Structure 1
Amino acid sequence: MVKITSQDLGTQPIGQLLIKQAVPASIGILVMSLNILVDTIFVGNWIGSTAIAAINVVLPVSFFIAALGMAIGVGGSSIISRALGASNYEKALKVFGNQITLTLLFTVSFAIFGLIYANELIPAFGGKGDIFEPARTYYTIVLYGVPVLALCMMGNTVIRAEGKPKFAMYAMMFPSVGNLLLDILFIQIFDWGMAGAAWATTGSYVLCFLFILWFFKSKHSELKISLPHFGLNLPIVKEIGGLGFVTLSRQAIVSVTYLLMNNILFDLGGETSVTAYAIVGRMLMFALFPVYGITQGFLPIAGYNYGAQKYERVRKTITTAIKFAALLATLVFISLMVFPEFITRLFTQDTAVIEETPSAMRWVFLATPIIAVQLIGAAYFQAVGKAIPALLLTLTRQGFFFIPLIFILPKFYGELGVWMAFPISDLLSTIVTAYFLNREVKLNLRPASID
């Protein structure tokens, strides 16, 4: 029988455990976000501001395909955490094997489709005018590596489900550093322009995959799968799909949002507004890294203890995670309210972009202090295997509120209305999530003895 050290998730103090899980996750997300941030700074200063907009246009397609891996990873890892909590080790192994098979099947198929219809997809996602050619160059090369990225995102969530957050952190750190070094080599030294930026990104995916492959082959992993585990099992596929669909829907909505925002902002303000959105989008990925780290650390703890029927520990995990995340989100909010122009100048010296971006950034991050409830609340339902409420809460912010608002508000406030949609949708979705989370805790997580 495989030795399972993940039992620590059900025994150690919640605060201490959350820090142990969240800090490596946060560092990993920080490094990955810094990679994206610095990559954008390099591109903006070495190639031009239009190149920033071009990369932003490509993100929805590549992000959605890679998100298939994340969805399969998060959905399966929720099952793995609960299976380990219930000492059902064979199920955990079977789930992992099915995750690998599903990730390869879906992502390779979508990548081929994306390459065939590149000329149609790029303009549809906002790659118009001067943006089209650099976007097409970047898109074609990056899509070659997206299935590899999907395997990395899937594997990373499984590493966390095993209770090995440090290795999950390393999996994000090594390729991030590699990408920056490759950026310098390909863009600055070899002068490959957009192609150099794309090959650096694709190369970083391969580095990440090699590390994750090493982890699962090494003694550090508890999930030693064999060939029979790769065969698809219908009940397991349905369970992975039901929970993974939540993550996939979230990422699909993100892709749709990019598509709509790029087109709406291009019509309202041209390339300048699309570039401003690209910079703000990078800050959304980077600045909130500690909050996302808390959310990532929360998932395996909640899932394991729910599977072990330690409901008081689940309750405590929810409240502790929200407190930590809210504090960190407030610090992020203060920083971005004070230094938006300085941040913008790191990306570009384009006067028009510098004039527009700081105001947009303040609007976008206006409701940041309250998003902890929204993120942890939706993550809880996913962690405990309740797919439908997790899906609905995941779609609440962008699907139910944000997308309608970016069509309605610009009719009254022009481009300002687009930026106003961010804090309004955050506020409304937080209220909805808080209501359902509070009801769930009262009904299904009644106090029991604390272990």
Structure 2
Amino acid sequence: MAINTKAISKETNAFALENVNKVLIKFAIPAIISLFVAELYNMVDTLFVGRAIGAEAIGALSIAFPVQRFMISLGLLIAVGASTAVARSLGEGNKDKLKYILGNALTLMLIIITFLTIFIYLFMDSILIKLGTTNNIFPYAKDYISIVIFGGIFQCFTVIIGYMLTSLGNARANLIATSIGASCNVILDIMLVMVFPLGMKGAAIATVISQVISAIYAYYNFSKIKQEYNISMNFNLNKDIIITIVAVGFSTFIIEISDAVVSVILNNTLSDYGDTAIIVTGVISKVSMFMYITMLGITSAMQPIVAFNYGAKNYERVKEVVKRASKIAHITTLAMWAIMMIFASEIISGFVKEQDILRNAVGAFRIMISIFPIVGVYFTAIYYYQAIEESKISLVLSIFRQLLIFIPVVLVCVRMFGVLGVWVSYPISDMISAITGYIYMKKGIKVLDVIEEQEEISYAAGIYGKNFNRIRSVEAK
């Protein structure tokens, strides 16, 4: 199938024509670093408050995690939906639609995040109790959340702009924006937590200021290219565009919010076993995110490339991109897994000082990630179906691992094995999810083959029809 060359600009030319391995790495490395840097916000806060205040502060961040993850999940819903729509529009050569996508995305984000921030602030105490906090952890969690929620708008703004820039072929700007924010967070945490001991409030203030700085830089970069694509920054809501954004991005929202839902369930379940269990969960959840970052960075880099080529009807390129992305994701995740397994004690000791908590955390972490590398195909399937706008399948896959499999498994295993059941539930869920992802990927590629075959038949029939009409015209003369 011929490439829609009219749709290709100098920025997105790589999506259609560049070596697949090269273009994947080109966009995956900034994506991985961006995800890594984004995780550093909470990671750095955990590191500093754990050292300056103690284990209860780490428990407080574990309680705060669902709130923060819920807000960023909404931002990612809009960002992924909007960026996929941009990539598809570029592939189709539909620049009229492209120029209105960002304005709708930002308007939707402002409405949702503003309402959510006000709601959380007004009902803070009730929310914290529902999240499973204990009496010792409650004051630390409240100090942190009551401030950090006000950075949600700026963080979501940066995410949306960053994803838009990536879809337009500029992944580096997103990387720099998040890196600047994370770097500022480290410096401000040192100042406000260690030098001027403001405790949890200091960590929260550092995070919000850093998110504001990151948002300013992201907008500065976007303002330089918006004229080229005639992108409108005016706030408006178009029903069709909003539906497209939400339908495509909802799967990413489910993936992200699933972690928050699981965290709430684990915190409530483990609260019966004391503060230590919650603290261990908080620590190993932070560390395990490093493994997810590599895999999600590669599969998210795959998404705009697949979306562009699918829009341009270049199906052979789509299949090649998916195949290479799956292979690279598996190799890199395997390497990260080996490092984490070998150096688990050294890595986790950076967060906790208490030796009994450290021993428990290291053992739990190794069980938790024992078969992690095989789950890469599951996430590849989710992002593939997102890219081709099969939102229903993508949604089913998104809720499958965490909500449909992990939660029932963990509830059963905790009854059978106590706290150990939590850690055993992860490899069980990973195995089931990997098998499911493989089945869906095989099915997805077969469907692509059918579409390609049908379009080739239609194309051939069209040529035949034109020639037949031309012959009839000549005969009539």
Q: Does 1:390 pair with 2:378?
A: no
Determine the structure 1 residue equivalent to 2:162.
156
Q: Give the match's secondary structure for 1:292.
A: helix
Query: 1: CA distance between counterparts of 2:68 and 2:16?
Result: 37
Q: Does 1:187 pair with 2:189?
A: no
Q: Deviations over 1:3-39 (max 9, x none)?
A: 6622321111111110111011112223333454333
The 8 Å contact of residues 287 and 348 in structure 2, kept in 1 or not, is answered as no
Q: Give the match's secondary structure for 1:290.
A: helix
2:252 to 241, 247, 250: 247
Q: Does 1:369 pair with 2:369?
A: no
Query: 1: CA distance between counterparts of 2:149 and 2:242?
Result: 26
Query: 2: CA distance between counterparts of 1:21 and 1:445?
Result: 26
Query: 2: CA distance between counterparts of 1:355 and 1:178?
Result: 32
Matches within 5 A, 1:280-319: 280-319=284-323
Determine the structure 2 residue equivalent to 1:378.
382
2:180 to 163, 174, 179: 174
Structure 1: where are the runs of 5+ without partners? none
Query: 1: CA distance between counterparts of 2:375 and 2:227?
Result: 34
> Structure 1's 28 and 159: CA in aligned 2 closer, same or farther, altered over 3 A?
same
The 8 Å contact of residues 102 and 232 in structure 2, kept in 1 or not, is answered as no
Cα shift at 1:53: 0.9
Q: Deviations over 1:258-309 (max 9, x none)?
A: 10011112213x1111111111111122233222221121111111111111
Q: Give the match's secondary structure for 1:230.
A: coil
Q: Give the match's secondary structure for 1:288.
A: helix
Cα shift at 1:187: 0.7
Structure 1 letter corresponding to 2:49: V
Q: Deviations over 1:208-262 (max 9, x none)?
A: 11111111112487444336x5321111111111112212222222211110011
Q: Give the match's secondary structure for 1:129.
A: coil
Moved more, 30-39 or 123-132: 30-39
Matches within 5 A, 1:2-13: 5-13=11-19
Identity of aligned residues (%): 30
Moved more, 18-27 or 279-288: 279-288
Determine the structure 1 residue equivalent to 2:468.
none
The 8 Å contact of residues 4 and 222 in structure 1, kept in 2 or not, is answered as no
Structure 2 letter corresponding to 1:240: I
Query: 2: CA distance between counterparts of 1:226 and 1:340?
Result: 48
Cα shift at 1:382: 0.6
2:263 to 258, 261, 266: 258
Determine the structure 2 residue equivalent to 1:108.
114
Query: 1: CA distance between counterparts of 2:68 and 2:117?
Result: 8
Q: Give the match's secondary structure for 2:133.
A: coil
Query: 1: CA distance between counterparts of 2:21 and 2:270?
Result: 43
Query: 2: CA distance between counterparts of 1:324 and 1:226?
Result: 37
Cα shift at 1:76: 1.3
Moved more, 338-347 or 322-331: 338-347
Determine the structure 1 residue equivalent to 2:216.
210
Cα shift at 1:409: 0.6
Query: 1: CA distance between counterparts of 2:189 and 2:109?
Result: 28
Cα shift at 1:352: 2.4
1:67 to 66, 73, 88: 73
Query: 1: CA distance between counterparts of 2:449 and 2:175?
Result: 31
Structure 2 letter corresponding to 1:362: R
Q: Does 1:410 pair with 2:442?
A: no
- Number of corresponding residues: 447
Q: Alignment RMSD, CA only? A: 1.9
The 8 Å contact of residues 84 and 387 in structure 2, kept in 1 or not, is answered as yes
Q: Give the match's secondary structure for 2:50.
A: helix
Cα shift at 1:437: 1.2
Moved more, 242-251 or 205-214: 242-251
The 8 Å contact of residues 298 and 321 in structure 1, kept in 2 or not, is answered as yes
